[in-house]
Amino acid sequence: MTRAVSAILGGIRDVASGRLTLFAILNLILALALTGGSALAVIRYGVPLIPEGDGWLSYLSTAGEIAASLILIVLALALSPAASIFVGGFLFDFAAERVEKAIGAPKARAVPLTEGVINGLKIALPALLLNLLVIPLYFVPVVNVVVFVVLNGALMGREYATLAAARQMSFKEAVRLRNRHGASVFLVGLACSVIPFFAPLVGAGAMVRLVQKLPRPDAAGRSAPERTTIKADKH
C-alpha cells in the first residue's frame, strides 16, 4: 500500500508541477469535447422523437424533455472515463517516457504511433461498454458513486499498469506483474477514477513509478529481487 500511495502522489506531482501539465490540459480539452459532443448528439437526435401535443400530451412532452436532460448528465458521466482513456491512450507513452527519464528508469522500447492508437482503443472500448451496461445503476444515489469509482478504478488500474510495465518487459511479464500486485494496481486505478479527465496522465506517472518499485517476475512467474535504482524526482 505504501508503494501505491507514493506512486499516486508522484503522479499528481507530475501533473501539478509542470512535467505533464500540458499533456493533462490537452487530454482535458479533447476528452471534454468528445464526451460533450457524444452526449449532445444523442439528445439532439433523441429529443425530437418525443411527441408534442395539447393537454396531457404536453405534460408528457415536458416530462420527456426533463428526462432527456437527466439522461444527458448521466450519459456524459458514463462516457467521461472512456473518452478520457481513449484520448489518454495517445499521450500515455509520451508521458511515461518523460517520467521514466525523470526518475532514472531503464530506457524503454519506442512505441509506434499506430500502437498508441491501438492501445487507446483497447483500453477505451471495455470502459465504454461496461459503463454503458451499468447506466441504470447511475440513477441510484450512493450506488452510482460506488459503481463508478470501483468499476473505473479496476479498469484504469489494470490497463495503465499493463501499458507501463510493457514498456520495460514482455507483455506476458507485464500481465504477471499486474496480477501479482493487484491490490497496489487497483489502489492507483481507484485514485485515477475520481479524476477521469486527468486520469491517463496521473496514471502514467503513478504506474511508471509503481512498476519500477515492484519486484519483476522471472520467467517462471516468481518474483525477482526488488530493484532500487530509482533516483529522487527532479522538480
Task: Answer yes or no: is 191 within a domain.
Answer: yes
CA distance 21 to 26: 9
Residue 72 structural domain: 2-213
pLDDT for 64 beyond 70: no
DSSP letters spanning 113-167: HHHHHHHHHHHHHHHHHHHHHTGGGGGSTTHHHHHHHHHHHHHHHHHHHHHHHHT
Place 30 in a pLDDT band, splitting at 50, 70 and 90. Answer: confident
Task: Answer yes or no: is 86 within a domain.
Answer: yes
CA distance 85 to 197: 8
Task: Answer yes or no: is 230 within a domain.
Answer: no
pLDDT for 58 beyond 70: no
Task: Answer yes or no: is 123 within a domain.
Answer: yes
Q: Which of 38-52, 74-88, 212-226 is predicted most confidently?
A: 74-88
First-to-last CA distance in the chain? 24
Task: Answer yes or no: is 76 within a domain.
Answer: yes
Residue 5: predicted pLDDT:
93
Task: Answer yes or no: is 155 within a domain.
Answer: yes
Average pLDDT over residues 98-107: 88
Output 47 or 130, whichever has higher pLDDT. 130
Could you report the per-residue pLDDT of 111-122, keeping only the tens digit for each? 666 766 676 677
Place 52 in a pLDDT band, splitting at 50, 70 and 90. Answer: low
Task: Answer yes or no: is 224 within a domain.
Answer: no
Per the structure, how many domains does the chain have?
1
Tell which residue, 230, 224, 213, has the closest CA to residue 165. 213
Average pLDDT over residues 158-164: 87
Angle, in degrees to the nearest 10, between helices 56-103 and 2-17: 100
Residue 48: predicted pLDDT:
55
Residue 42 burial (C-beta neighbours within 10 Å; 0-12, 13-18, 19+): middle
Q: Which of 26-35, 153-162, 183-192 is predicted most confidently?
A: 183-192
Task: Answer yes or no: is 220 within a domain.
Answer: no
CA distance 147 to 59: 33
Could you report the per-residue pLDDT of 178-203, keeping only the tens digit for each? 999 999 999 999 998 888 778 888 99
